[in-house]
Amino acid sequence: MARIILLFVIIFLVSLSEVEPITFKISNRCRNTIWPGFLSGATSPPLPTTGFRLSRGKSKTVTIPPSWSGRLWARTLCSQDPASGSFACLTADCGSGKVECSGSGAKPPATLAEFTLNGTGGLDFYDVSLVDGYNLPMLILPKKIVVGGCGATGCLVDLNAACPTDLKLLTRGSRGGGVACRSACEAFSDPRYCCSDAYATPDTCQPSVYSLFFKHACPRAYSYAYDDKTSTYTCSTGADYAIIFCPPPYTSEKLLGSRKDGATLPLVNKSMIHLQ
Ligand SMILES: *[C@@H]1O[C@H](CO)[C@@H](O)[C@H](O)[C@H]1NC(C)=O
Ligand SMILES: *[C@@H]1O[C@H](CO)[C@@H](O)[C@H](O)[C@H]1NC(C)=O
């Protein structure tokens, strides 16, 4: 009898120490359907989904295991080949041939949301990266409101039309409009832009006219590999996150204006209004 009671006490204690999963609420405010994709880090627990379809105006909440790290993005202009049944996207394709990405990452250019949940010091680290180029505007919004932390980050401006000509990803039928904007590293494979070889340190890899195009439009996002530390944001572990694709830039900025998140850079550069 005593043993059974002891067993129940142990089960009770184990259940108390279990950490609650958190959630990502993914929303599509874009004009068209998008297909979000997820890639978990090598040592990270798997997610319940690695990719799904999200119609215009819809949201989906995904349960995220504790201490997860990885990235997410959204694919655009996807279709299924009627003959082979293979699924493919014109931007940010993960190459799985299916809606689920199943361990494959995004083919650049793609706007990336990067997360390390419950990292150093019990903090979540997150950023929006344009290091691999850009395909859609994106906002990461921690649901926790903490003074001096849990800042909103993202790239709220539509950069596909404004993309410098030599970085523009054009597709058949896109009539010069562009469906994504490549990084200078991808477009020119130059170590200067890729921060590789002789340029593989923060001191030797400098911003370029191309990375500054991204930085000026989206001051809080990573614009090249050694962009300064103002591009990584932190929140105490346990927060839920909203990830919004194509958020309305000025309403978002207004809504977020009251959050005292301590971020030094603006979310939207007002002098870049002409890009809209
Ligand atoms: C964070 O990670 C530590 C181990 O590194 C673990 O003990 C703790 O329960 C985790 N907390 C949450 C909220 O996931
Ligand atoms: C805003 O854009 C202008 C023009 O491109 C640029 O000179 C300025 O540095 C940008 N501001 C920020 C905070 O990035």
pLDDT digits (tens, 9 = 90+) for 28-48: 999 999 999 999 999 999 999
Q: Is residue 92 part of a domain?
A: yes
Whether the CB of 7 sits within 6 Å of ligand 1: no
Q: Is residue 71 part of a domain?
A: yes
Nearest atom in ligand 1 to 118's CA: 1
Nearest atom in ligand 2 to 215's CA: 14
Q: Is residue 7 part of a domain?
A: no
What is this structure's pTM? Answer: 0.91
CATH number, domain with residue 70: 2.60.110.10
Neighbours of 178 (CB within 10 A): 21
Summarised one tens digit per residue, pLDDT across range 235-275 is 999 999 999 999 988 777 777 877 888 888 888 888 776 55
Q: Is residue 9 part of a domain?
A: no
**Quick one: pLDDT at residue 275?**
53
More confident residue, 68 or 8: 68
Q: Please count the structural domains in the chain.
A: 1
**Quick one: pLDDT at residue 176?**
63
**How much of the chain, in percent, has pLDDT values that exceed 70?**
90
Handedness of CA 268, 269, 273, 276 (dihedral sign): negative
Summarised one tens digit per residue, pLDDT across range 68-93 is 999 999 999 999 999 999 999 999 99
Rounded Cα gap, residues 209 and 195, in angstroms:
15
Question: Which residues does ligand 2 sit against, CB inside 6 Å?
Answer: 215-216, 219, 265-266, 269, 271-272
Cα–ligand 2 centroid distance for 58 (angstroms): 33
| Cis? peptide before 142, omega within 30° of 0 | no
Q: What DSSP element (H or E) covers 75?
A: strand 69-80
